[in-house]
A and B are shown apart, each in its own frame.
Chain A
Amino acid sequence: MSSRTDDTTRPAADGALARRAEALEVSGWGERFVLVQPHNLCFWVYVVLTGIGVFQVWSFFGPEVGFYAEGFAVAALLCGLCGVAWFLWFRHIDRWERQPRGLVAAGLLWGAIPATFAFAMTVNTALLSIYPKLFGQDWTASWGAGFIAPFTEESAKLCGFLLLMGLAPRLVRTANDGLVLGAFIGLGFAVFEDFLYAANATSAAFGTDAVGNAAHMSLTRIAVSFASHPLFSALVCCGAVYLLGTAAQPRRVGRGVAFVLAGMALHFSWDNAGGLSFGNALLVFPVMFVSVVVGFTVLTIAFRRAAIQEHQFVRDILAPEVEAGVVTEAELEATLDKKARKAFTKAAPSHRARRARTHLRRAVLDLTHDIADAKGAESEEVRHSRAEVARLRAAAA
């Protein structure tokens, strides 16, 4: 089998190879990410603002870390575990062009440190002082958070995405990149914001139950973490890609504005659930429920629209493989399309074959990624992935 895959795939038609070459050029799939780029001003801005964020973190927590060490440790553990769970989920759904680890790490770090501590903490504090001066204490208590965070925090997170676009212009260029990287930036922000809330809670009750209050606040934040910064910033960053336009994504101003506003509006409604329920405690939960339903509906729409382009990249990159018979049309469509996937899996003759077909779809994507990593050339990894496709096809029959 392996000799077949090694020897019979070479003579792909020029048209298919041209499709692949163009898709690799336009998509930037397989490009590696390098953070340290001394010629790139985005790199220096990233470094300086991260440094400012680290300084702010130390200034904020440094004086208290010794006294509340146990409470901080509990908060870090709980918020960290929640973050790890979400991280694994986001990596799982990042299936088309898997974002390079370095890029993901840079996004997480931005959300965690500069966005939270260099940007948001300072400007939020200032606005929380301005609003009561202008509109009174009661208005600020009801509406202040919702009229601050969607502007300050979303712009802080978006700044990180813009820097990543500047650092990796060939890697960050599709709406799907905006959704995935935006989610990771938001995740970094959410984990550190949750930790910040929990750390502040250690001083509640005059510091007499630091561990208990930190644990309680951490669990409260975790309980509502499914509708949080990753959701908001995924939509905002996706919208930014449509707004700015890239080599892979023609500018779509209307759609871009819609997604940016959707992310901000969801942030507003989530933060202002109390205000929107007009002081009626019974209405708070329905308001939050509606926010969640609308939020995930918009997110699903965004992912579906973004996937169209990613699917085309996969088809183009695999075109020579389809022509050579390494991957069949049915396998390719089952990898990309939900209906085709169900039909493909259902057609399997046995439970064992159904499992093999699931693995086969994953192997087809692995082959796509290995071809992209090799820039369309032959490599040991590409040959191995072809062999894997053939092996799993045999098991799926």
Chain B
Amino acid sequence: MSSATTTRTPPPDRRRVPVDHRLLGLDTRTFPLALAVVAVFVLATVVVPRIDAAIGWDDPVRAGERLALSDTVAFTPTTGWNVESGFRVGAGGSTVSSGNATVVGDGVTFEVVPDDFDGTPAELIDQVEKVTSSTGDATFRADGQPTTVTTADGDVGVLEAYSSVNGDGLVAAFVIDGTGLEITVYGPPAQMRAAADDVDAMIASITSDGSAS
């Protein structure tokens, strides 16, 4: 071996770790920073989500409360169901006053997604099926018999059963004053049957009064 070879300093990635800093071939001097990062990662992705899972929803709908879907459209959720997302009409104190709404009760989830839409309720149902089956859930099919649903205000929408490997449910669509409403209702079959009247009442309660929020 030449003297040049024996005196050459190896690059940092090839340098042998001193025996007093070696553990399983790793340099223990690199542990504090690496383990600090692992600790933050575990806190962020394991501990906090578990805390979230441990905290239940406790935000029941009280009699007379309505949820604002847009500046002009609102609906009345069933009293006692939990509000998991949504903004109460007239609550104030928030920079956001309307938007998506999710209420859960008796094992059934009732979700409303409002957004701009220029078309008919039937076209909205088709669009929802196309988007859902092409993105999140390839097995999603709105394949039931479409039925007409009418709100107490006389707005007409379309209701259809859907099937998916994630579970079956109902999807309804309305288009009110340029705002499309996609309503999805799902839960175990027995609970769905038991909550049918509540679901019908919530759909019928959708109103457009020009001052929802």
A134 interfacial by beta-carbon distance below 8 Å: yes
Which residue of A has the minimal Cβ distance to B137? A63
B64 interfacial by beta-carbon distance below 8 Å: no
B115 interfacial by beta-carbon distance below 8 Å: yes
**Residues in chain A near residue B44, CB distance under 8 A:** 119-120, 122-123, 152, 155-156
**CA gap between A42 and B34 in the complex, in Å:** 5
Contacts A45-B37, A118-B45, A203-B131 given: A39-B25 contact, CB under 8 Å? yes
Contacts A67-B134, A122-B49, A162-B33 given: A39-B85 contact, CB under 8 Å? no
Interface residues as binary, A87-107 with B (CB distance below 8 Å gives 1, 0 otherwise) = 000000000000000000000
Other-chain contact of B94, A41, A138, A206 (Cβ < 8 Å): A138
Contacts A37-B13, A142-B94, A208-B117 given: A137-B83 contact, CB under 8 Å? yes
**CA gap between A42 and B12 in the complex, in Å:** 14
A209 to nearest B CB, angstroms? 9
B38 interfacial by beta-carbon distance below 8 Å: yes
**Residues in chain A near residue B164, CB distance under 8 A:** none
**Residues in chain A near residue B127, CB distance under 8 A:** 206-208
B34–A34 touching, CB < 8 Å: no
Interface residues on A, range: 35 or more
A279–B94 touching, CB < 8 Å: yes
A279–B93 touching, CB < 8 Å: yes
**Residues in chain B near residue A162, CB distance under 8 A:** 33, 36-37
**CA gap between A125 and B58 in the complex, in Å:** 19
B33–A165 touching, CB < 8 Å: yes
**For residues 336 through 355 of chain A, which have their beta carbon under 8 Å from a beta carbon of chain B?**
none
B106 interfacial by beta-carbon distance below 8 Å: no
B96 interfacial by beta-carbon distance below 8 Å: yes
**Residues in chain B near residue A133, CB distance under 8 A:** 52, 55-59
A66 interfacial by beta-carbon distance below 8 Å: yes
Contacts A133-B55, A141-B96 given: A42-B30 contact, CB under 8 Å? yes
A345 to nearest B CB, angstroms? 41
A126–B128 touching, CB < 8 Å: no
**CA gap between A310 and B48 in the complex, in Å:** 41
B95–A274 touching, CB < 8 Å: yes
**CA gap between A126 and B86 in the complex, in Å:** 17
**CA gap between A38 and B14 in the complex, in Å:** 9
**Residues in chain A near residue B130, CB distance under 8 A:** 207
**For residues 51 through 90 of chain B, which have their beta carbon under 8 Å from a beta carbon of chain A?**
51-52, 55-59, 83-88
Interface residues as binary, A31-69 with B (CB distance below 8 Å gives 1, 0 otherwise) = 010101111111011000100000000000001101110
**CA gap between A36 and B13 in the complex, in Å:** 7
Other-chain contact of A206, B83, B92, B128 (Cβ < 8 Å): B128
**CA gap between A129 and B84 in the complex, in Å:** 9
B200 interfacial by beta-carbon distance below 8 Å: no
Contacts A66-B134, A134-B55 given: A163-B34 contact, CB under 8 Å? yes
Contacts A63-B136, A126-B48, A163-B34 given: A204-B55 contact, CB under 8 Å? no
Which residue of B has the minimal Cβ distance to A133? B55
Contacts A34-B13, A152-B44, A204-B116 aside, 10 further interface pairs with beta carbons under 8 A come to A32-B11, A42-B30, A49-B41, A67-B135, A68-B135, A119-B45, A166-B33, A205-B115, A206-B131, A275-B95
